[in-house]
């Protein structure tokens, strides 16, 4: 006998199988969402509200945005397979396809603990292993202080800082940063003790200085004077422009073993970036009007630049005797870059004890020890 099909319960179709797969997926998703909601209570995570499922009269695939946020409502429990449906849906449930559709809609109900804007919302828990940066990391660590009272300023503030005493002093500069390596390994380092210069007929240094606007800054290593452009020197046919000048106590340079009370370095640069430094030496004696003008414009705070109201008469800094020594050396501060031409004026200038004392109270000692001459050629003008 050929079996007869019940018209009310046809054989499953591909649509039936598709809905069955969707039902299984929805069940797994519901279980995952319940686990996420349970973990959210411990981690206190951020919450995101997903749009609710379709209400009556819409397809389960329809998404509608909640109109307003309201207090959480208890989520209806999923309908088990063995619970009879209401009378008004009993007729529809005789169709297996409609039965699967109804079960799928029930499975998509939100898990317990949902706190978004509707009974069909899902609470999503997110966790991150990243911690928010500390204030120090976000804004930079506080400036470190090297022994000797030198405080870091500028782009390198917060990093290991160099000074003139202790572990951060000249003997340890090379170990503070990789770019300071030449401070230990360089073969043409400055300052040096100038001895046995070759007396030759050197061309005089041409100073093209003029009265200039300036500002004074305590940069954490010395008192430095910033100048407006336009001041130059000419050495052997090469032109260098004055960038700034600053002070050291005692003098970094020595002549035949003699060290002076202070020294002043006028730093110049040419168009190719090469440096030339003119060093002036100071002993105790009569007052120096130009240096006093610098002291009169000292800033109140370290790191602040104080613009002066009156221009500075730069030519009055220079000695009447323009004879000099010259040799190739380096910067006397980190990174100790080499290839610097040094011009050391042979005739010392003078400062009063009071003028020397003003700088000494700010920087009692900021001079690098003399370095090996390493057989360098030193020339001196007649």
Catalytic residues: 221
Distance (Å, whole) CA 76 – CA 119? 8
Best CA proximity match to 35, nearest among 121, 143, 122, 163: 122
Alpha-carbon distances, residue 311 vs 173, 215, 295 (angstroms): 37, 10, 14
Q: 291: Cβ–Cβ under 8 A, 6 or more apart, which residues? A: 264, 317, 351, 355
Cα atoms in the 13 Å half-sphere on the side-chain side of 217? 14
Which residue do the tokens 């619970």 mark? 83
Question: Under a CB-based contact definition with an 8 Å cutoff, are residues 183 and 334 in contact?
Answer: yes
Between the CA atoms of 28, 33, 36 and 38, what dihedral angle is there, to the nearest 10 degrees?
-100
The conformation of residue 314, written as its DSSP 8-state character, comes to G
Alpha-carbon distances, residue 19 vs 24, 118, 155, 236 (angstroms): 9, 25, 65, 93
């Amino acid at each position: 006998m050929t079996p007869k099909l019940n018209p009310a319960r046809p054989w499953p179709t591909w649509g039936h199988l598709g809905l069955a797969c969707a039902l299984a997926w929805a069940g797994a998703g519901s279980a995952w969402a319940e686990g996420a909601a349970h973990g959210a209570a411990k981690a206190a995570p951020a919450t995101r509200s997903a749009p609710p499922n379709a209400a009556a009269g819409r397809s389960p695939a329809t998404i509608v945005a909640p109109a307003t946020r309201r207090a959480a409502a208890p989520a209806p429990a999923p309908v088990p397979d063995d619970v009879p449906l209401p009378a008004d849906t009993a007729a529809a449930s005789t169709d297996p396809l409609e039965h699967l559709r109804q079960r799928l809609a029930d499975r998509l109900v939100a898990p317990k603990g949902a706190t978004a804007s509707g009974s069909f919302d899902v609470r999503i828990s997110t966790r991150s292993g990243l911690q928010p940066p500390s204030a120090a990391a976000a804004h930079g660590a506080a400036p470190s202080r090297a022994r000797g009272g030198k405080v870091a300023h500028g782009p390198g503030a917060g990093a290991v800082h160099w000074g003139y005493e202790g572990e951060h002093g000249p003997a340890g500069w090379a170990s503070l940063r990789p770019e300071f390596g030449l401070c230990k390994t360089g073969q043409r380092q400055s300052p040096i003790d100038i001895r046995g210069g070759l007396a030759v007929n050197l061309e005089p240094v041409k100073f093209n200085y003029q009265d200039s606007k300036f500002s004074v800054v305590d940069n954490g290593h010395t008192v430095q004077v910033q100048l407006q452009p336009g001041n130059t020197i000419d050495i052997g046919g090469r032109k260098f422009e004055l960038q700034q000048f600053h002070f050291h106590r005692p003098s970094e340079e020595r002549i035949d073993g003699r060290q002076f009370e202070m020294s002043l370095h006028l730093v110049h640069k040419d168009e190719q970036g090469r440096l030339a430094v003119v060093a002036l030496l100071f002993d105790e004696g009569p007052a120096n009007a130009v240096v006093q003008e610098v002291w009169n414009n000292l800033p109140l705070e370290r790191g602040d630049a104080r613009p002066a109201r009156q221009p500075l008469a730069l030519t009055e800094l220079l000695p009447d005797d323009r004879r000099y020594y010259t040799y190739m050396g380096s910067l006397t501060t980190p990174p100790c870059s080499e290839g610097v031409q040094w011009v050391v004026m042979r005739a010392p200038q003078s400062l009063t004890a009071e003028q020397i004392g003003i700088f000494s109270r700010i920087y009692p000692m900021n001079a690098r020890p003399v370095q090996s001459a390493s057989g360098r050629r030193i020339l001196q003008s007649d």
